[in-house]
Amino acid sequence: MANNFSIGGIKIFSTAGTVFASLVGGPLLIFIITRFTLGGNKDAIPYADTYIKNSDTIVVKIPINHREIDIDDDVFTTSGWFMGVAQTRSATYNMYSFYSPEHKKYLGVVTFIGSYNTIQRGSGEKIWYDDIEVQRLTFLYRIKSFSAYVNRQQWQDPTYGTKDNPVPIFFKRALSGHETLDMDDFITIKPSVNKKFVELYLAHELSSKEFNRLYGEDMKRLGLKD
């Protein structure tokens, strides 16, 4: 079901996977989207840059048998302020996990549906934005391998890498199997989008207790926590 509203003469409607704007609403639309990144464990958000800095890139192969890929999701609400009015919106966390024989661990590709990674479609007065992550799993099914970011702390922690607790990884770039696909928009994820995903993951999907266990001391060292 679409939600229709108008701001500053710009008519906008949104669905779970698409945001539409008429007239020249791009800059304002982006502003609206980026305002809704708060909520959850807000104290963890400033650590996103360090989390990314302390990450390595690994090569991951997709299981030939796609039935080996488990899907986990969680719908949560983010909140923010726009023009003095409190606003809320729903977002969906997805983790696509599977066992990696090469790394001898269960890995989980983290992504978020909620118009955080969009591509502009249309032209003129009819412009809309498709949420690329709605089809991320479809893209993974069709490729053979990709590179991904993984945080060293979680990679080395013995409690991660099991079927019940896969190591979270963040898609970076398709490496093989994508060459004949007409899905160029899916090949890479921009650093800015990756940072947004990390912020959302730390704030909404990693419990405060687990965050403090893994990164509490580093937060203190960096002066991000009393």
- What is the value of pTM for the model shown? 0.81
More confident residue, 25 or 131: 131
C-alpha distances (whole Å) from 146 to each of 59, 82, 94, 96, 170 are: 6, 38, 18, 14, 10
Helix extents (H) in the chain: 26-35, 48-53, 136-142, 152-156, 191-200, 208-221
Across-strand partners of 44?
A: none
Q: Residue 8: inside a domain, yes or no?
A: no
Q: How many domains does the chain have?
A: 1
- Tell me: pLDDT of 198 over 90: yes
pLDDT in tens, 59-98: 999 999 999 999 999 999 887 666 677 778 889 999 999 9
Q: Residue 186: inside a domain, yes or no?
A: yes
Task: Please tell me the predicted confidence (pLDDT) of residue 81.
Answer: 65
d(C-alpha 114, C-alpha 89), whole Å: 8
